[in-house]
Every structure is written in structure tokens, then in C-alpha cells.
Chains A and B, each alone.
Chain A
Amino acid sequence: MSARPRGETPPAPAVFKPVMETQPELPARLARDLDGAFEELVGVHQRLVYGLALRVVGVPADAEEVAQDTFERAYHALAGYPAERVAAMRLRPWLAAIALNLARNRLRRRPPPARPLEDGDGRPLAVAAPAAAEPAEVAERGQERERWAELLAALPRGYREAVVLRHVEGLPYAEVAEILGRPVGTVKTHVHRGVRQLRQELEARKERTR
């Protein structure tokens, strides 16, 4: 991908809080001392990388492997790039694109089980909900998430990826377009169609349970 100067593409407002490119000085530090700064890169971006992988492959254990592979690949790539290139990198879309590719490959090699998102909540109990939450509340939230995960999993892949990046991860359209390697207009169309399909499905389900 092309290395663009940083500080462009102001994020379009996401639904909730916009997700900014964090740690603007991290690329420079990676360029100076990869081994010293790499742990921070993992810490900053692991949620996006893992979350994205989970929404594509569906199974938490597989998503963790994809996330590990993503960071390993990123490390070796960064180690091989000249310092100026690393310093000018926009890490988030770059990592997201790697994660997406690896997740797609994995899905191709190993299709998901019949009910792909049975345990798609992806929140292992050990690191899960805040301790204060009521167990019943937690369980309910888990079911709720599972329902959403199922809805999302039923979308065509192209729409699903765009919707996940835009509305689950809250990335600006420009960045979603960069990650997916498509024009912004196309990405917007895919997001809108995906959302429309989700709403139709949501309505249909409500009709059925009424």
C-alpha cells in the first residue's frame, strides 16, 4: 500500500465516539526501535485486529490465531522496511488490511461450522464483563450479542466486512475504503445495503416472534 503523509483523512463521525488514530508518534518510535515499541503497537491495536478477525472467522480461537499471525507478519514487515517508510505509516488501516486478508484466507481453508456464530460473542469469561455486572444482565447481554452476530454473519461477505469496519469498529469511511481497497463511494453503498438488509432481517424476526 502507498505510504501517505500522516494527518490526513479526518474521520467522519461514527455513530458513537469516533475512533481516532491513536498514538500519532508510534510509527516514529517503531522506526527508531522496533523491539522497544512493538509491544505498544500490539496493545494499541489488538482490539481492532482481534475484533475484525472474529467477525470474519466467527470462532474466538481461530480469531486469536489470525490476530497472532497478523502481528507476527506486521513485525517482520516492519523489521524489513526502511526507517523512513515505517515512520510514515498509517498503522491502523495497514494492520486491519493484514488481519482481514489472513482471516479471509483462513475462512477459505477452513469454512466455519454449520452455525458459525454459536459462540460468536468472543468475550472469554476470564477477561469479560465488569465485575459489578449482575450475572443475569451479563447473560442477557451475551444472548443479545449472539443475536447480532448471527444477523451480521448472514450478510454477504462484501457487505459484512464494510458494515463491521464502519459500524462495529467505528472507523471513518476513508479508512474503511483504504482497508478494503475500494473507492469510498463503493464502500458507502456496501455499508448502506448491508445495513438495509440487516434492518429487513431485524423486522422479519420481530414479526416472527410477535
Chain B
Amino acid sequence: MMNTTDTHDPDGGWRELAEGLHGLRAEPPATLAPAVLERVGLSDAYLSVDGPAGPLLVAYNGRGISATAPGADEARFLERFQARFGRPLRPAGRPPERLVAQVERLLTPGRAGRPPDYDLRGTSEFERAVLAKAQEIPRGQVRPYAWVAGELGQPAAVRAVGAALGRNPVPVLIPCHRVVGSDGRLTGYAWGVPYKRTLLAAEGADPDELERLGRRGTRFFGSDTTRIYCYPTCHNARRTTDAHLMTFTGAADAAAAGYRPCRVCRPPALAG
């Protein structure tokens, strides 16, 4: 009934088959290339989330969250993003559920979980180390610039720590606002000191009270029952009742009184 000896016989059947198969070549959807570029981090998308102190614009790509900016000024965000990263940035089509959930969890008090990934390309190793330290500071607490420098084993690099925090590409999510002056003052913030104050207050710290303490010379709290001293916002310090609360002007002061540094908030052991 049919010719099965030579499939390449240029008869009508073969021609029809070849044309039919060739016609199956399919065009890729227009969404493919943009999605690929976003996944490998060659372009970004952004969306707005509810931040602890107003709306927060969040840019991301397949590597993680690449940039944030408080507020709702998208034009300004785009402009700054392009100036710094030189990549295309577009509004997110459908928000990626996992990422949105991670950001919400990160911003919700009392909820733990894996923090989102961050795309920190373009930062130096030192800057990434500083940002990693800032992420160790719990919500509602603050640490001095000198603490970050000391933790990194570079106690003299206090100014460099300040500069690195100032270049934090993802403010609010990486909480560079939780790093303050040794005297409790809210020095310097890329988005303005008032916003830093609002953020800290929204997180349950009391920035005004911390500044008052600093002005009085208080650097650490201690407990006369445990004989341990802490940074004032450490949760161990907050558990200490007023009757047992001691104040110190520095590590030497605390050491002289026979106190040891808290193992949780890790204040300096001497001469702070």
C-alpha cells in the first residue's frame, strides 16, 4: 500500500511531511528573554511593599534583592538605580510570592525565618562584612559604629564602617539604621536622620531616650545580680529591674566594678 523503501524519495508524501514538520518551528514567547535576564541578574524588577515607616520600593532579580528606597517616588528610584547599577529596571509584572513573603516576614516583629537573598554585587568585601554585621543587630536594638568595627577585628575602622553603611544598597531591609554613634546619637543616614529616628521608633527602640542616656555619659547597663554589662538596648539589659540596674560610662568603668561583658550583645571588654 505504501512506499517504505526510501523515506527521502522526493515524492509528494515526503514533501508534505517535511513541510509539516518544518512548520512546527515555534516562536518563543516575548516574555522569555526578559525573564531570563532578570533571573541571571542582568535586569531587575521592582515593587512597593509596606515598610515599618511607610512604603518601601524594592528592586530584585534572580540573585536576590538588589536595592530599596523608602517612599513612593518611582521616577527617582529608577534614576538612582540606573546611575548606580546601570541595569534596566521595570515594574514587577506579578510579584514573586516567595520574595514578598520573605520581606514581610523580615519586617514583621516576632517572626523568624530565612531572610531574603540580597544581590550585593558592586560592594566590596569589607562593605559586605559590615552589612552582614548590621543584620545581626536585632529589631528594636542599636549598636555603635565602633562595635561593628570591633566585631570585624578592625577597631580603628569606625569611619570606614560608617561609609560602608552609607552605601548600603538595601536600606531598611539590611538594618544599617540600627547602627548609631557611641554616645547614642543618630548620626548620619542616607535617607535623613529623622527617617532613621522614625524607623527605630517603629521597631520599638526609643531613640530619644537612648540619646538622653548618651548625653549623660551612660554607655552600658549592668545588673548587680549577674555582674554582667550590656549595651542599653540588649534584651538582657532590658530584663534587669530598676532596683538592680547599674550604669557605666565605659568598659573600663564596668571592668573596674568587676563586671564582665554580656555574651549576647558583646560590648568591648576594656576601654570602650
Contacts and interface: CB of A to CB of B under 8 A. Distances in A.
Interface string A101-119: 0000000000000000000
Contacts of A147: 20
B30 A127 contact: yes
Interface stretch (A2-10, A172-180, A191-199): A191-199
Interface in B235-249: none
A33 to B, nearest CB: 12
B28 A75 contact: no
Contacts of B62: 72
Contacts of B4: 196, 199-200
B39 A64 contact: no
A139 to B, nearest CB: 14
A164 B62 CA distance: 31
Interface residues of B, number: 31
Nearest to A121: B26
Nearest to B1: A203
A123 interface: yes
B36 A51 contact: no
Given A71-B40, A126-B30, A148 B2 contact: no
Interface in A123-139: 123-124, 126-128
Nearest to B22: A16
B10 to A, nearest CB: 10
Interface residues of A, number: 52
A75 B24 contact: no
B40 A38 contact: yes
Q: Interface of chain A, helix or strand or loop or mixed?
A: helix
Given A123-B26, A123-B27, A127-B27, A42 B37 contact: yes
Contact of A47 (B21, B28, B37): B28
A145 interface: yes
B20 to A, nearest CB: 4
Interface of B: 1-2, 4, 7-8, 13-14, 16-18, 20-33, 35-37, 39-40, 42, 62
Interface of A: 15-16, 35, 38-39, 42-43, 46-47, 49-51, 54-55, 60, 63-64, 67-68, 71-72, 75-76, 121-124, 126-128, 141, 144-145, 147-149, 151-152, 163-164, 167-170, 192, 195-196, 198-200, 202-203
6 closest A-B pairs by beta carbon, nearest first, are: A50-B28, A122-B26, A75-B40, A167-B21, A71-B36, A148-B20
